[in-house]
Amino acid sequence: MGEKIYELKKIKKKGKGMPLIGDKFPKMEVQTTQGMMKLPEELKGKWFILFSHPADFTPVCTTEFIAFQNRYEQFKELNCELIGLSVDQVFSHLKWIEWIKEKMDVEIQFPVIADTGKVANTLGLIHPSKATNTVRAVFIVDSSGIIRAILYYPQELGRNMDEILRMIEGFKTIEEKSVAIPANWPNNELIGKGLIIPPATDVETAKKRTEQYKCYDWWLCYRNYHKW
């Protein structure tokens, strides 16, 4: 344990700061439960979600892994892969995955990174009050290796995987239809599954908005999802 803490502190001193939304996902070679992987190049052309958990064999993390696995096929249908991570050795990950299969009858099919602390520090995942534990972070990375969203949760609060799945669907809709996504989409209180038209950038366009689309005003216009 002492060696692990020392290694984490040493890495922190060398750190260059965590990546931000819009940055390229840092290049790294990682040990996983499914062998070595080179990120993000090995997943080029695919979206992926890298999510960290505090530790193996913990209650909330176990529920999260099962929840992710139960939606794995839905993520894959959206051309999106899942990758887990914590500061645990690979044999710990393997034993925990084996336990989930034996006790919960759920087979974890996505890879889990066995981190020494290097990846966690590069991505800013170390819990501030617990030197060796990673926070519940989520990095959503697009098919070009660009970080599109970053989420952080405390250890006590499990994630909502349906929201993460919704975010992938939302990003793909934004790219396909050049729109914005309203709150609680696709069940928004004002426009349901409607999609928001980007704001007008000149007077003439603003005047035409109310004629072209459904609008509350020229700056808040939307179209139905299927009318494209």
Residue positions annotated with a catalytic role: 61
Q: Which residue has the tokens 């819990």?
A: 127
Q: What would the DSSP string read from start to end of 64-78? A: HHHHHHHTHHHHHHT
Q: Is the dihedral of CA 158, 163, 169, 171 positive or negative?
A: negative
Is the C-alpha dihedral spanning 89, 92, 98, 99 positive or negative?
A: negative
Residue 85: strand, helix, or coil: strand
* Sheet containing 220-223, strands listed edge to edge, beginning at the edge strand earlier in sequence: 195-196, 220-223, 214-217
β-strand partners of 173: none
Residue 28 contacts by C-beta under 8 Å, 6 or more apart in sequence? Answer: 38, 39, 118, 119, 122
Cβ distance 107 to 70 under 8 Å? no
N- to C-terminal Cα separation, the chain: 57
Q: How many residues does the chain have?
A: 228
Report the C-alpha gap between 11 and 97 in whole angstroms. 28
CA distance linking residue 225 with residue 228, whole number of Å: 7
